[in-house]
Amino acid sequence: MSSVEAKLKEIRVTMAPSPTGLLHVGNARTALFNYLFAKHEGGKLILRIEDTDLERSNPEFEKDILKNFEWLDIKWDEGPYRQSERTAIYAEYLGKLLKENKAYYCFCSEEDLELKRQDQLSRGEAPKYDGKCAKLSKEDVDKLSNEALRNGKNPVIRFRNPSSTRPRTQSNLRIETRLFTQLAFVVSKRKNFPNHL
């Protein structure tokens, strides 16, 4: 087995609380399950602090969370990593996703998105992003980026989802890509800052 294969086979699970409040019982439950799973499989438990909400994150809450995990006797093997300290890594991968056309900038304002959402709801449809910015040309993106920069606005970055609607099978994991085509996840709300990573 190559070192890459060995690394892919290694069981690595996280507990990833947000330091925006005291430790929530749901986080403690997930952490306990992941801890037991990691120990059972001879894998590693990684503690990652999800401090992506810069306004609401507070080091006091982080302290409380760590203290409570210790009290619960849940021992992590790596971390704590903080999302806010890993922006250089995310910047690199966001750049790669954009370059490979697997993600795109979305310049829609919150107000526009909310109007479209209300419109879809009023027609009894499940609200979803309409993909407007997925079709922008390179020139449009440059123009809108400059405009956003001038106006102090920050475009979000969305995943460009596979257009295939056929379910794919990869090893024993069945991926229903149709679901993902509906969603166009926002991967980054601030430049270089993760949203769902």
Residues in touch with Zn ion (CB under 5 A): 106, 108, 132-133
Question: Residue 86 or residue 116: which is nearer to Zn ion going by CB?
Answer: 116
Pair 190, 168: CB distance under 8 Å: no
Question: Residue 23 or residue 133: which is nearer to Zn ion going by CB?
Answer: 133
Q: Could you tell me the smallest distance in angstroms from the CB atom of residue 108 to Zn ion?
A: 3
Residue 66 tokens read as 């760590």
Question: Residue 32 or residue 134: which is nearer to Zn ion going by CB?
Answer: 134
Pair 32, 71: CB distance under 8 Å: no
Q: Could you tell me the smallest distance in angstroms from the CB atom of residue 194 to Zn ion?
A: 19
Phi, psi for 191 (deg, rounded to 5): -55, 130
Question: Residue 34 or residue 188: which is nearer to Zn ion going by CB?
Answer: 188
Rounded distance, CA 63 to CA 67, Å? 6
Q: Could you tell me the smallest distance in angstroms from the CB atom of residue 128 to Zn ion?
A: 12
Pair 181, 128: CB distance under 8 Å: no
Rounded distance, CA 130 to CA 56, Å? 30
Q: Could you tell me the smallest distance in angstroms from the CB atom of residue 127 to Zn ion?
A: 14
Pair 19, 57: CB distance under 8 Å: yes
